[in-house]
Amino acid sequence: MALGALRLGLAGQDRQPDDPALAVEVLGRRFANPIGLAAGFDKDGVALAPLMRLGFGFVEAGTVTPRPQPGNPRPRLFRVPPDGLINRMGFNGAGLECFLRQLSRLRRGAVPLGINIGPNKEGADPERDFPALAAAVAPHADYIAINVSSPNTPGLRDLQGEARLAAILRAIAAALPECPPLLVKIAPDLSQDGLEAVVRSCIEAGADGLIVGNTTLSRPAGMTQTQAGGLSGAPLLARSTAMLARAHLLAAGRLRLIGCGGVSTGGDALQKILAGAHLVQLYTAFAYHGPALLPRLKAELAAGLRGAGFSGVTAAVGAEAPRLAASCSI
């Protein structure tokens, strides 16, 4: 229903210029603000232009798979009041061919577009599929995110292992020497050793950055919902921010980071930036609050930056990473 309303132009448009303090130069592009829409909302690219008019600094489409697939049986999306979601969607989507048709109609503009790619549940060959997907979407993408961390495709998270991830990244580099910036989306459930291996693999293979992180299989104490799937939203904030800070410290400036997980206020976005993110993504808060969230979040972030003594986003990146890295066990 939301995608249909967007396509009909019923969601409106944010015409207010962004505060200059929110501008970020990263991944070879200028972002008017660092707040982006995470992958999973518009899997098939059917409402990208309307989404870009809402005030996001960037939009990430997908996850797109080589072939169409129905995803997991319904019901597969559950609200966790007051501010969480559990999903087990399973990469439902119309597949690459349909996705490319939608992209052919999209006029590239000032709002950068990320494209998230992943393998099918059946018949997958990651070293074949990821390079083919990257080559197909590259002409349309300002960056490409490879999804090796959804908990809802069997075996996918195994691709975060050092050898498998390195093989995938090498295969993409061989197939696409002039690739747009390439980021790896990782799970917030990685161990410290697992995170170190991912960071090392990405640096050695020439990846540009990480998205930290996807949904979690863990459940906070006292949570009563028992549905299987990945948990997102506010319950994920502390865990994902601590992992983001640790990734920033491990990468030591060699990777660019996008912070994702639990962002619903400008203060949350600022925490991600202080942990090491140049850009921030949200999904669950957008599902709960809709487009009206964006102007408030951007105003709160700009005020928070100035209140903390920072001239802009870039000046604040990683400023509190050591403290935030120790703030939550992973």
Distance (Å, whole) CA 152 – CA 173? 27
Decide: helix, strand or coil at residue 75. coil
pLDDT value, residue 268: 97
Evaluate whether 223 touches 235 at the Cβ level (below 8 Å): yes
pLDDT tens, residue by residue, 205-214:
889 999 998 8
Confirm whether 327 is a catalytic residue.
Answer: no
- Residue 329 confidence (pLDDT): 65
Pick the CATH number of 21-325 from 3.90.950.20, 3.20.20.70, 3.20.19.10, 3.30.2350.10: 3.20.20.70
With beta carbons less than 8 A apart as the criterion, state whether 61 and 106 touch: no
- pLDDT (tens digit, 9 = 90+) per residue, 91-147? 889 999 999 999 999 988 889 999 999 998 887 788 899 999 999 999 999 999 998
Indicate the pTM of the whole model. 0.94
Please say whether the beta carbons of 250 and 199 come within 8 A: yes
Per-residue pLDDT of 278-327, as tens digits, reads 999 999 999 999 999 999 999 999 999 999 999 999 999 999 999 999 98
Q: What is the pLDDT of residues 228-276, one digit of tens each?
A: 888 998 989 999 999 999 999 999 999 999 999 999 999 999 999 999 9
Q: Binning pLDDT at 50, 70 and 90, where does residue 330 land?
A: low
Q: Please report where in the chains the tokens 């809802």 appear, as a residue.
A: 152
The beta-strand segments (E) located in 222-268 are 230-233, 256-260
Residues 6+ apart with CB under 8 A from 300: 265, 266, 267, 269
Burial of 281 (0-12, 13-18, 19+ CB in 10 A): buried
The answer to whether 245 and 261 have CB atoms below 8 angstroms apart is no
Residue from 150, 201, 232, 264 carrying the catalytic annotation: 150
Spatial separation of the C-alpha atoms in residues 29 and 44, rounded to whole Å: 24
Cβ-based neighbour number of residue 310 at 10 Å = 18
Domain edges within the chain: 21-325
pLDDT at 152: 67
